[in-house]
Chains A and B, each alone.
Chain A
Amino acid sequence: MQPFRVHTGVALPLDRHNVDTDQIIPKQFLKRIERTGFGQFLFFDWRFRPDGSLNPDFLLNEPAYANASVLVSGRNFGCGSSREHAPWALGDYGFRTVIAPYFADIFASNSAQNGILLVSLPEEKVSDLLARIKSRPGERVTVDLERCEVRDETGFLAKFNPDPFRRRCLLEGLDDIGLTMQHEAEITAYEARRR
């Protein structure tokens, strides 16, 4: 897994609550059996009009956000379906991190498995950040997992408290199946005990 330490990039404001995984990647793109190539389908129904042309009303289509890699959104981001295709699409498109007041549980673990850092900040902080990046399209934001802070050049600064285990896995790019396999003796003993 690609480690996450410090990332600076253009921040896209997606100012709505409950962005569900059906929006992040619609179901017609879940039939592929590969793990890659999902970025082209990210936010498909919002990015594209029914005739396939770009929807000019969706911010991600504006040139200022062409290289966006930091997503800032509302409460309960990633709710709904357990599809890991959602973080695959975000990551493949180029997003490295999402900032929101809180995230749906399954989406949170799926993102951690794919080197995408989810940052939970208090609602006021998210609103403040959204206001700043909306007023300055193309604004770059730094997400620093080493110091556990989000900052930008306009003076925004917010600390966050990641789960220590997830933080370590992201910083070091750890494969957690490998970690579990180190407990093989305990797993075998557990199975024997419950037989």
Chain B
Amino acid sequence: MKTFEYTIKDPVGIHARPAGLLVKEVKKFASAITITKGEKAVNALKLMALMGMGIKQGDTIKVSVEGADEEAAAAAIEAFFNANL
């Protein structure tokens, strides 16, 4: 399993647009990707649950990637966060 932490820089946080793009990105990989904020954890394939976490600017989230392509997936998702959020 690969994990990394990321602090959200986007002023509106994980709103519909980046959440949609994130789900699209996650779908490219076989690994299970989980986003954790505090106590709450969601499967990154679940768009509405992701939006429902209300992740805002300044929040630090933990991203865990587990599966056959976890190396590539973790790198891609981290790059995605840097570029979009």
Q: Do A and B come from one complex?
A: no
B-binding residues in A (CB < 8 A):
none
A-binding residues in B (CB < 8 A):
none
